[in-house]
Amino acid sequence: MQEQVLAVSLAAVAAVAAVFAKVLRELQPGEAGWSAAEAAAKLRARLLWGSLVMGAAIALLTLVPWPHAVATGPEVVSVTVRARLWAWELEPARVPANTPVVFLATSEDVNHGFGVFDLQGRLLFQTQAMPGWVNKVSWTFAEPGRYRILCLEYCGLVHHGMIAELDVVPKG
């Protein structure tokens, strides 16, 4: 699914770039007395190509490795995450450290934000828990301990109290 999204996004970016390039080609004034307009057009072209190259470089640097790739393989541990007003149900709620864990997140009512925080209270990753849909996200916990799950999508009166815990135990 993510590979298709990436391909569609890249195709859309290429299409927009092609339109910009065509407009720029047709904008060349090329007549006497147009030097200011010509200079402005050249500057715009440089800015456009500069931003395109910069954008492509940023995309390549930040999307490799693709951050949403879901772990697969025999060693993967799956955790089913069910969200509801206002609780989390994790099955199982205990996973081994240094093992890829795939969270399958869904909701029984409204949209919730499944956010997992490390032992220092820093957000590690998050995905939406949506009704009628299963979102997959994987993570390998390096450190054993008690991790916290908080809801990151406002879901009503007790949104702030939608907290759960995930125990990461030493592998073995």
- Give the interface with ligand CUA as residue ranges (CB under 6 A): 86, 112, 151, 153-155, 159, 162
Residue with tokens 């391909």: 7
CB closer to ligand CUA out of 101 and 155: 155
Return d(Cα 75, Cα 73) in angstroms, integer. Answer: 6
Minimum CB–partner distance for residue 128 and ligand CUA (Å):
10
CB closer to ligand CUA out of 70 and 110: 110
Burial class (CB in 10 A: 0-12, 13-18, 19+), 112: buried
Minimum CB–partner distance for residue 158 and ligand CUA (Å):
8
CB closer to ligand CUA out of 34 and 154: 154
- For 41, the token pair is 């057009």
Return d(Cα 72, Cα 2) in angstroms, integer. Answer: 14
Residues 14 and 55 sit within 8 Å (Cβ to Cβ):
no
Return d(Cα 79, Cα 106) in angstroms, integer. Answer: 11
CB closer to ligand CUA out of 101 and 153: 153
Minimum CB–partner distance for residue 108 and ligand CUA (Å):
11
Return d(Cα 47, Cα 39) in angstroms, integer. Answer: 12
3-state secondary structure of 118: coil
Minimum CB–partner distance for residue 150 and ligand CUA (Å):
8
